[in-house]
Chain A
Amino acid sequence: MTMTGEPNAATDADPRPLDAEGKLTLTLNVNGRDQIVRARPHHTLLEVLRNEVGLTGPREGCGVGMCGACTVLVDGKPVSGCLLLAPLAEGHDLVTVEGLEGPNGELHPIQQAYVDHTAFQCSYCTPGFLLTTKALLEDNPDPSRDDAKHYLAGNLCRCGSYVKILDAVMDAKERVRED
């Protein structure tokens, strides 16, 4: 397969022509702002967020949707950015960890809970956990510890900071409620 130059439709439903580098121009709504980026049709949302938008929060861990390090909230639902082709993310609200802070850089209550419990070690997985926690608390504002475990089981932390992560989630639930 030639990856450059040859015209190639992004999807059957997307007949837009590719430019000389084999790229499409996409408009992605990332953290509330439209971003115009160029990407090849096979590029994933993760690649585009990192390489074109310049974000460092979404990170590749496994490339096959098993570890959650690349989690992005797509219309509020946690999605593996490594599995979603970037052209398919157009027209959706995309939220990364960079979108959690308030307008003046104040931490989201979930982030503050993770800080206060030191719910990380190497913290490579932390943005994914934060976003999945946000989705959990929107789905279920009052999860039990078991509910939280079940919801977060798709995010892996090899340092094994799970006890503190659960403590942070249960604390965050109270803070989000008060917020």
Chain B
Amino acid sequence: MTDNGHRGTIDPIRGGMMDSLERVTGRVSYTIDLQVPGMLHAKLLRSTMAHARIRAIDVSRARALPGVAAVLTGADLAARTDIQPWFGPVFRDQPILAIGKVRHVGEPVAAVAAVDLDVAQEAIDLIEVQYEELPAVFTLDEALADDAPLVHEEPPRVGQTFADLIIDTKSGTNVCNHFKLRKGNMEEGFGQADEVFEHVFTSPPAQHVPMETHACIADVRDGRVTVWVGAQIPFVVRSQLAEIFKLPQTRVRVIVPTLGGGYGAKCYPKIEPVTAVLSLAARRPVRLHLTREEEFVTITKHGVRIRMRTGVKRDGTITARQSECHFNTGAYGDIGPRLIKNGGYGTGGPHHIPNVAVDSYAVYSNIAPAGAFRGYGVSQAAWAYETQMDMIAEKLGLDPLDFRLRNLLTDGQRVMTGEDMFDAHFVELLERAATWIGWDGGDPVRNGSKVRAKGLSCIIKGTVTPSTSTASAKLNDDSSLDVLTSSVEMGQGMHASLALMASQRLGVPVGSVNVSLPDTDVTPYDQQTSSSRTTHAMGTAVMGAVDEIREQLVALAADELEIAAADLEMGQGAVRVKGSPDRSRTYGELVRASRSGNLLGSSTFRSEGGLDAETGLGIGSVHWHQAAGAAEVEVDLETGKVDLLRYHAGVYAGRIINPVQAELQTEGNVAFGLGQALFEEMIFDNGQLQNGNLGDYMIASIEDLPDDLNTDVLEHLEADEIHGIGETSLPPVMPAVGNAVYRATGVRIMDLPITPEKVLRGLRALADQEVSSR
């Protein structure tokens, strides 16, 4: 049965999207659809150099072009006293426009606002920049060399940032942050091991590719800043703009329409500062919408190298694991200095390991900045440990499933950050995955030049902790409910999930619940729409806000019906006397009786935790997200091409709120992950991106998805806990595929992606070995 609400279609059982009708008619409004009267159009001039001093910029011809309203350079911004021209969520290390030098190809150097895009582009073409090229570093090895040129000569400035952030910078090097974890005794741990395995695994930089590239409209006039932007974290955009313009936060308004995809790319300010300073200079609203090529150099997934040592007893018990992780964070820190924590402790994996040591580093280099990316460092960590698990199993002569089951965390065991595991479902998830794929540890199946085999994986992921979400709600005099929240709708179906939770809690039809879009002038604080946290964190806040209204309704009904509150019950839009259902008042009647216009409720969700700066131990996550994967691949031995034939994506959800969205997000993770497993990689040559467009950089199409795809969203109502599932089933995809490719071919790929070239090279190396051993 469909509940046709005023904004679209949500089925109370199946779930769905709140504004489905707007979404299939093309009417749903993204930032790119907005028009502000008097709006100008912006274009950016971007650096052609990876690392260079700016000797001079001549903007005179651009400024003289008719139709140009403003031309800005970093020097212009640095000279102004009314602007603080540096931003960044951790370090204020990123200039709005390059000041003094450029640090990566594609960095904005100058900006133009003009009457239309043609004029803006023509003005950009008239700007001349003289660079003095500097030695640059692109790879981790280059950036970490003793005599490496420094991307940032000065230690980065820390601004107001996350309460739990651990900062350990190495001044005089390109290391911009170091996270360490020390659990147990490594000497003892490795001493107990019969075998110690050491391998190096790498993941390349990759692109989020939201179908909607970054777009922003800014209006900065009369001491007031208004921006419309598809941002995942509106309140950080607000606080950073307030800092840039030296204004109270109340003078900055951030309005967030629905997003055309985010995946982490739209976390933290990106193009808002430059759009806003252009508006300030032009004294008109300004719109900036990046091209796909610009999007590629705006933010990326971290390229990562992980050296992993794992000590194991002959019976398959893991005794110790030591990881050294280097995250190439590019020219600016963005959230990299924080992400290394999750990626770092993440290497502990879903295994019970008494002794764990992690050193995780964010390293500056002269490539495009890296930041939050669906999986948040855990994909790179899981690629390392779940690949190594299969390598260890083979050396010890153990079945990869049995070896995992022996070591997977169960309730009461300590996770890598030291707290006790609870609500553990790793074993169940992996066993269900193995059953579905038909795991038998058997030999690969060969058919002509094609060979099939299966692979498994299982992962753990934290969600940002501590964290805070606030919500408020208004019950109207017709029993309809407005929910005010700053959580961002980016396709995950958050609006529908919050509406479903509020409707169930209050006892009103889901179609009579409205959920707001974020507007920092109106909607209360939310920390971030990321980290798979909204349904749990904001959902809890929304239910708390509804509970406040419920209490008022009961008190009002007790008054109206002249009966003790304890004798009342509520649901289906009314408060009734227990046992006398005809003695009742509808919510609307009670709102009217209150003479308040509407009943207001508000609530705050807070999770507690955080890690110790020296040991990395503490509360890593309010609860732990869990997922397993099982893949069956077919490898063409003549071409090296890998096809994903079947895939099982298992994820623990606790209680499922919106079943169809849970399925969609999980299916989406498989599509996202198979691209990163098989072909996604940003290729840089001397800092110049070689494949920065969708012709050269492939993402999964409908033909890449396995015909046989099973989503297994596991529910355990008795736990009474909601787990986010937006990212959790992504990290298992890459190692499950890699492990299946190995079992099919004997070729062990340790550097993503698993391209046909690498598979063929591996097959040739195996053939050569066979020849030489004869």
Contacts and interface: CB of A to CB of B under 8 A. Distances in A.
Given A97-B25, A98-B25, A160-B668, A2 B122 contact: yes
Given A59-B212, A121-B661, A130-B24, 4 more contacts: A4-B122, A61-B212, A62-B693, A161-B664
Interface residues of A, number: 54
Contact of A155 (B20, B669, B702): B702
Interface in A83-134: 96-98, 100-101, 107, 111, 114-115, 118, 120-127, 130
B670 A160 contact: yes
Interface of A is mostly: loop
A96 B702 contact: no
Interface of B: 9, 15-17, 20-21, 23-30, 32-33, 66-67, 118-119, 121-122, 208-213, 258-263, 291-293, 490-493, 660-661, 663-665, 667-672, 693-695, 699-703, 705, 707, 709
The 5 closest A-B pairs by CB, nearest first: A57-B26, A160-B671, A122-B491, A124-B260, A160-B668
Given A111-B25, A159-B664, A120 B709 contact: no
B24 A159 contact: no
Given A2-B122, A56-B33, A64-B695, A121 B668 contact: yes
Nearest to B122: A3
B32 A156 contact: no
Interface string A140-179: 0000010001101111111111111110000000000000
Interface of A: 2-4, 40, 55-64, 66-67, 69, 96-98, 100-101, 107, 111, 114-115, 118, 120-127, 130, 145, 149-150, 152-166
11 contacts: A3-B118, A56-B26, A57-B26, A66-B694, A118-B661, A122-B210, A123-B260, A126-B23, A126-B24, A160-B700, A161-B667
A55 B25 CA distance: 11
Contacts of B493: 121
Nearest to B672: A160
Contacts of B705: 160, 162-163
A66 B709 CA distance: 25
Interface of B is mostly: loop
A2 B694 CA distance: 28
A163 B703 CA distance: 11
Contacts of B211: 59, 61, 67, 69, 122, 124-125, 156-158
B259 to A, nearest CB: 6
Nearest to A67: B694
A74 B634 CA distance: 39
A166 to B, nearest CB: 7
A153 B28 CA distance: 24
Given A59-B32, A160-B671, A96 B26 contact: yes
A118 B664 contact: yes
A114 B32 contact: no
A46 B295 CA distance: 19
Q: Which of A101, A126, A162, A164 has the most CB of B within 10 A?
A: A162
A79 to B, nearest CB: 17
A24 B208 CA distance: 38
Contacts of A162: 667, 671, 700, 702, 705
Contact of B694 (A62, A101, A107): A62
Given A4-B119, A56-B33, A115 B9 contact: yes
B518 to A, nearest CB: 16
